Structure 1
């Protein structure tokens, strides 16, 4: 079967929950399922560049047949070979490579050339979008709460505070209505000027972050995704008109359209000593 010759067009950055597309390729898998590639989709996949947000839930409808989408991953095509998910050998946007969304369904799936509809579970999408929006806000609030913990100039975040989140992040996971971010405070971060003793009073840091989050939530602020083009590999940026200034953060996920859509946002902090370093875990919750 011929492989697509152009990137998948994606509409989920604009908040779309449905889309109509043409089946361009079906890749049978060893587990009996099939990877279905369309020319256009509203379905958010696990993105290799930003793997923190899970794939959407939903179905692919072809005529009278409905296929549950078991998973969705990004893929790349080069010289007639399709690479999926963790097997991607290049970064997004690499010249000469085709970037696609692969919808994983129980085989054999629809047929190449079929016109199909994508229907995304709106409730689950909303919960993930709330969790992702809250994750960005929490990272900015944590940076601000730790702004006095630095003894040397370092890179700053979108609000001009020392970028603790970017410099210390080890893992990040978006959940429905929340997120979990783990930071490593080791030798390299101390050399950059971070003072670990600041974390000895976690309650104070937590209070500063939550106070700021409530100020932002109460004030509200429009949120949107800006992008250069509709293709999957196009650069996308989370833009929030936050109290105190506009923020621009590169992001491939989905989001709410205003901070006011959050009834509450709070973070809780915990530390743990591991391998000669300190690990800080921030759990963010929304409703």
Structure 2
């Protein structure tokens, strides 16, 4: 059994939906088979921050082109002795001596796995409609979080880290989870003692209707600009640094991000935002759901 020594090359940051690679490793995992390629267009879910789900895709092995469903695609890692998947990965991405991999999981029956042998050629084809919908949801998520930061900019009594547009970064300081869905996202923010000590005034969340109106006003202005979006990357490896870059009217917004995105805000007609506040274990928890309405 051989295990890869370099990160998977990924082409989804550039928008690729199809890729051809070489099978580097095949391993049975329960009732599934884990398949690692040297290159893939399939976006994997990352257990360390599972915001964007895996792409829906098929994989075909060899010359006959028979395609089977990729049941899941997850970030895995190996130190050369064992393959670890998802939340079983024991080290952080980029750890020296480790290769980080996009691992495709297919059904483990003999007919499905027959062509999955090391050295074989494999073709990945990603479902375009699902990718596009998740990309829209992810871009909408970033825009909504930046608009939330701007809407709360005057509600801090102390200086804190600023976001890419110069507003206090409420999103970075308070976000406890973020989940991307087709054309939508849900972010949860916890406002406890730590955030209060940093100077945030929880009273800012007393009037959610007014807060939502400020967020939507900012989003409407950004969408009217038709700003372009791109992914800048330091390399093609799975762990190479990637940045979401959007040319907003007030200046470029740049955020570290490993997901996929829309190419332009002209793809959206609007972004709807819903806010909900609740008390959990003595802390205020704010939920923000954003929904992207496609143009046309």
Superposition TM-score tier, normalisation by shorter sequence: over 0.9
Partner of 2:85: 84
Mapping of residues 137-216 of structure 1, within 5 Å: 137-216=143-222
1:47-85 Cα offsets, whole Å, 9 max, x none, are 234310000001001234211000000111103211111
Cα contact 2:179–2:186 (8 A) shared by 1: yes
Mapping of residues 34-53 of structure 1, within 5 Å: 34-53=33-52
Deviation >6 Å, runs of 4+ = none
1:109-130 Cα offsets, whole Å, 9 max, x none, are 2221111110000000000000
1:2 is aligned to 2:8: no
Hey, what's the Cα distance between the residues in 2 that align with 1:152 and 1:228?
35
1:234 is aligned to 2:233: no
Partner of 1:22: 22
Residue 4 of structure 1, CA deviation: 1.2
Hey, what's the Cα distance between the residues in 2 that align with 1:198 and 1:7?
44
Cα contact 1:33–1:106 (8 A) shared by 2: yes
* Superposition TM-score, scaled by structure 2 size: 0.95
SS of 2:218's partner is: helix
Hey, what's the Cα distance between the residues in 2 that align with 1:244 and 1:7?
37
Cα contact 1:141–1:209 (8 A) shared by 2: yes
Unmatched runs of 5 consecutive residues or more in structure 2: none
1:147-191 Cα offsets, whole Å, 9 max, x none, are 111111111101000000110101110010010000001111111
Hey, what's the Cα distance between the residues in 2 that align with 1:64 and 1:19?
13
Mapping of residues 121-140 of structure 1, within 5 Å: 121-140=127-146
Hey, what's the Cα distance between the residues in 2 that align with 1:127 and 1:209?
22
* Superposition TM-score, scaled by structure 1 size: 0.98
SS of 2:269's partner is: coil
Hey, what's the Cα distance between the residues in 1 that align with 2:177 and 2:78?
28
Partner of 2:70: 69
Q: Tell me how many residue pairs correspond in the alignment.
A: 286
1:247 is aligned to 2:253: yes
Hey, what's the Cα distance between the residues in 2 that align with 1:278 and 1:248?
29
1:112 is aligned to 2:118: yes
Hey, what's the Cα distance between the residues in 2 that align with 1:130 and 1:18?
19
Hey, what's the Cα distance between the residues in 2 that align with 1:102 and 1:56?
12
